[in-house]
Structure 1
Amino acid sequence: MNDSLEQVKDLIESNKLDEAQQLIHKSLDLDSSAEALYFYLGQIYYRQQKWGEAINAYHKVLELNPDHKEAQSNIEMAKNILGYFTPDMFNP
């Protein structure tokens, strides 16, 4: 399992997000409680600006480990991005 985590991490750092995502899904089929895999999946979705999927992945991390600070923080950041708007854009 640790080898696949390192491989996922390397793929994410190399910006090979699709390959990393495929490896994560393959690994999750073998171990559906893999907290780190869900976290990395959230990281991929976050980088792809797929905010809803990122939030869902981070929530899965929190189901497995309610004290995961980075997942909590990333959920808040994604929610802030989704909730951001500039009123000046509507009042020229």
Structure 2
Amino acid sequence: MNTDFVPTAQPVSRLIEEFHKLPGIGPKTAQRLTYYLTRMPQEEARALAEAILAVKDKIILCSTCQNITDADPCIICRGEGRDRTKICVVAEPL
């Protein structure tokens, strides 16, 4: 990672590095997000962390269409009114 910022506390540096791993997040944006989080109320920061963990814990890919879901098959694939002879396969969800 390009480290053209002032050295800082290890937790801040680590979070910047983790944000920078995300697609589309460069070093400056990673820094901005990190510094924004340092000013965020504790409850909001905790809610964000819990939302991230919930996605990792509960979200899977539908075995039929590969869309993201919390149940397999997804709500679309298990829909009773759906034409089961047709399927839309998702290359990349979202």
The reply to whether TM is greater than 0.5 is: no
Query: Counting strand residues as a fraction of each chain, which structure ranks higher?
Result: 2
Query: Counting helix residues as a fraction of each chain, which structure ranks higher?
Result: 1
Identify the structure with bigger relative contact order (alpha carbons < 8 Å, sequence gap 6+): 1
- Work out which of the two has the higher radius of gyration on C-alpha atoms and give 1 or 2: 2
